[in-house]
């Protein structure tokens, strides 16, 4: 995605439509880094995902990520083709962002319970 901004049209598009920039940064920072850290901690056995609540937590976090990315890029596409704002865009973005919080809380709740059970 970043290499395509070498093309003048794509660079102009990215500069004028901020949703593409926000979506890209979101993809890199939340997508790659967070999921890399999840995978690393699971591999190092510092994060337990055998419990149902942990799997639900990771699933909700992933769903929040995919849905928020879709909304960000879809809004950018709407601006690009001249259709304006998505109906209830900010409310939808807030709604799917709650999945991040709930997923993380489920995951952390399970880790706290697993830690106190082994003590």
Say what the pTM is.
0.83
Walk along the chain (119 residues) and give the pLDDT tens digit of each residue.
678 777 788 778 877 889 988 998 999 888 899 999 999 998 998 888 887 888 899 999 999 999 999 999 999 999 999 999 999 999 999 999 999 999 999 988 877 666 655 54
Among 61, 65, 63, 68, which residue's Cα sits nearest to residue 93?
68
Q: What are the residue ranges spanned by the domains of the chain?
A: 3-114
Structural contact between residues 96 and 68, judged by C-beta atoms closer than 8 angstroms? yes
């Amino acid at each position: 995605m970043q290499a395509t901004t070498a093309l003048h049209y794509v660079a102009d598009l990215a500069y004028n439509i901020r949703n593409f920039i926000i979506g890209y940064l979101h993809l890199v920072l939340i997508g790659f880094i967070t999921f890399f850290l999840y995978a690393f901690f699971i591999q190092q056995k510092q994060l337990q995902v055998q419990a149902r609540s942990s799997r639900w937590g990771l699933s909700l976090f992933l769903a929040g990520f995919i849905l928020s990315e879709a909304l960000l890029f879809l809004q950018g596409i709407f601006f690009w083709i001249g259709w304006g704002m998505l109906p209830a865009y900010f409310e939808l973005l807030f709604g799917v962002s709650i999945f991040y919080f709930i997923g993380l809380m489920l995951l952390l709740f399970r880790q706290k319970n697993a830690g106190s059970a082994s003590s």
